[in-house]
Structure 1
Amino acid sequence: MNTTQISDSCVTCPYPNPQASLRLFCFPYAGGSSLIFRPWFNSLPKTVEVCPIELPGRGILMKLTPLSRLEPLIEDLAPVLLPHLDKPFAFFGHSMGALISFELARLLRREYNISPIHLFVSGRRAPQIPDRKPPIHALTEPEFIEELRRLNGTPKAVLESPELMQLLIPILRADFAAHETYIYTPASTLDCPITAFGGLQDEEVSGSELQAWQEQTNATFSRQMFSGDHFFLHSAQSLLLQSLSREIHRITSEISCQSP
């Protein structure tokens, strides 16, 4: 692998929608790729252009070394995203992706005076709450695989394939390291509304830890819970997309009312 910086190709948009009034940038969980958001394209309103983000080490960026710290990842992503922020935009991120989208929103405001119109965070405790569980990124391979099995986010067939795991483990270790070494720095609250999604059976994130995202915005906040564990965005996908669609309809209606 090489260590070339993230390029514009990290912003994927398989179905361009120039008439959309809103762009939704989607950030995957640890080990995930932009492909996890492919089922979303036909389920969300036509007023939104869905732009999944591909992180280094996977998909079309497979030759890039995965970044094991969050700060350099955010610093690389911001200037690449900037040309795509020429219309109202929102962020959606699940688990590690929620943390990426939050810190990216803070950096864009701080350095470019640009903010998302809405932040959707999913399956992740609020950033000011320290991790209550020991890190797993440096575990031995058998222990690491056992933790992946417990989290229930990696298909059993993949876990039992030595060839696939040989490709996936370096990416997962880097992603978990970026997530687990994150240190929250207090800053002024965001101006955009935040919606937090959670799984009712998620043992990684409690309802109160999701509710604490309210402290990160001086705008409106809402929390919505779905049946499922940490990966409810797959098991409860249709309900999640229905909820997201309602929010997007509301946001794009407001955008239309504000247009001259």
Structure 2
Amino acid sequence: MRLGSNPWVLTCGRPVHDPYITLICFPWAGGSPDVFRSWAAGLADGIELLAVRLPGRGPRLGEPHYEEWELLLKDVSAALSPHLERPHALYGHSFGGRLAYELARLATTTHPGLTRRLFVSACRSPDMPQRRPHLHTLTDQQLREALLHLGGMPPELLGDDRLMRLVLPTIRSEIRLAEMWVSRDGEGVKVPITAMYGRWDAVDGRARMARWSSFGRLGCELVDMPGGHFFPLTHRPHLLDVLNSRLGAAGGQDQW
């Protein structure tokens, strides 16, 4: 994985010569884009894989986190603009799924016809109320315990007090954005949607993702995946099979 001149974007694996589609991936709240590194080898030839690095990670650790959706979307859209000017698909998990959806809404206006597919995983539909109690209101210790239970971060990192003092504000802020997120216009996106849920996900399982069908104006499928909320970590081959089959040689336009 290489960090180029754009601090927001990481190219995963070897650069793809003349890709037919670019897959842009957004991690969950506080998640590292490094989780996508291993995906490159499992994707079909011709798919360029990029990961988005938000502030608060790696070399961006000291940068302030975002408190409002509007500014976050403005900056992400500007940073990704060169990559949105060619055929692309968007993938996001949990908080990243919300971000991917909102970017798809913007991209269909600024770069019409180039967003070939939206993948969302473990992400409630825009009209589904957030579960209570809100995690972002927990104490630091309670939040660390909740993150340990969910399984999105290694226990050794959650147990590192010094590291947690650095990264927990960013994690809390992104969880807050995810939990306070609501539908902005209700019209959905003119992009095919593949919505994936973990079979044993107690956070955003099938029932909380079923209504994505109301937001894909070019069609939506609901895909059952083995695993819990963080099935991309525990069942990566299954996820890559879905990505490959939907993107396909057609660039994700017609493959369900």
Judge same fold: TM > 0.5, yes or no. yes
The 1:51/1:253 distance shift into structure 2, 3 A limit, reads closer
The 1:241/1:83 distance shift into structure 2, 3 A limit, reads same
Moved more, 7-16 or 70-79: 7-16
- Aligned-residue offset at 1:113: 4.2
Letter in 2 for 1:219: L
Matched, 1:140 2:151: no
> Counterparts of 2:112 and 2:246 in 1: how far apart (Å)?
24
- Aligned-residue offset at 1:114: 5.7
Look up the match of 1:123.
122
- Aligned-residue offset at 1:49: 0.2
Q: What CA deviation, in whole Å up to 9, does each residue of 1:38-61 have, x standing for no partner?
A: 010101011110010001111232
Look up the match of 2:241.
242
> Counterparts of 1:191 and 1:251 in 2: how far apart (Å)?
17
The equivalences for 1:133-212 within 5 A come to 133-212=132-211
Moved more, 150-159 or 45-54: 150-159
Secondary structure, counterpart of 1:41 in structure 2: helix
> Counterparts of 1:50 and 1:20 in 2: how far apart (Å)?
10
Secondary structure, counterpart of 1:202 in structure 2: coil
Moved more, 236-245 or 155-164: 155-164
Look up the match of 1:10.
8
Q: Unaligned regions of 5+ residues in structure 2, if any?
A: none
The equivalences for 1:216-235 within 5 A come to 216-235=215-234
8 Å Cα contact 1:200/1:229 also seen in 2: yes
Secondary structure, counterpart of 1:201 in structure 2: coil
- Aligned-residue offset at 1:112: 5.2
- Aligned-residue offset at 1:250: 4.9
The equivalences for 1:14-93 within 5 A come to 14=12, 15-93=14-92
The 1:225/1:218 distance shift into structure 2, 3 A limit, reads same
Secondary structure, counterpart of 1:23 in structure 2: strand
Look up the match of 2:93.
94
Letter in 2 for 1:96: F
- Aligned-residue offset at 1:254: 6.0
Secondary structure, counterpart of 1:68 in structure 2: coil
The 1:20/1:203 distance shift into structure 2, 3 A limit, reads same
Letter in 2 for 1:136: L
TM-score by length of 1: 0.89
Secondary structure, counterpart of 2:115 in structure 1: coil
> Counterparts of 2:24 and 2:9 in 1: how far apart (Å)?
8
- Aligned-residue offset at 1:93: 0.3
Letter in 2 for 1:190: V
Letter in 2 for 1:10: W
Could you tell me the percent identity over the aligned residues?
31
> Counterparts of 1:245 and 1:143 in 2: how far apart (Å)?
38
8 Å Cα contact 1:69/1:182 also seen in 2: no
Matched, 1:251 2:242: no
The 1:128/1:250 distance shift into structure 2, 3 A limit, reads farther
Q: What CA deviation, in whole Å up to 9, does each residue of 1:66-102 have, x standing for no partner?
A: 1132221111111221112232100000000000000
- Aligned-residue offset at 1:184: 2.0
> Counterparts of 1:69 and 1:177 in 2: how far apart (Å)?
10
TM-score by length of 2: 0.90
Secondary structure, counterpart of 1:129 in structure 2: coil
8 Å Cα contact 1:70/1:179 also seen in 2: no
Q: Unaligned regions of 5+ residues in structure 1, if any?
A: 1-6, 256-260
Letter in 2 for 1:31: G
8 Å Cα contact 1:201/1:230 also seen in 2: yes
- Aligned-residue offset at 1:216: 0.3
- Aligned-residue offset at 1:253: 7.9
The 1:221/1:110 distance shift into structure 2, 3 A limit, reads same
> Counterparts of 1:253 and 1:131 in 2: how far apart (Å)?
30
Letter in 2 for 1:141: D
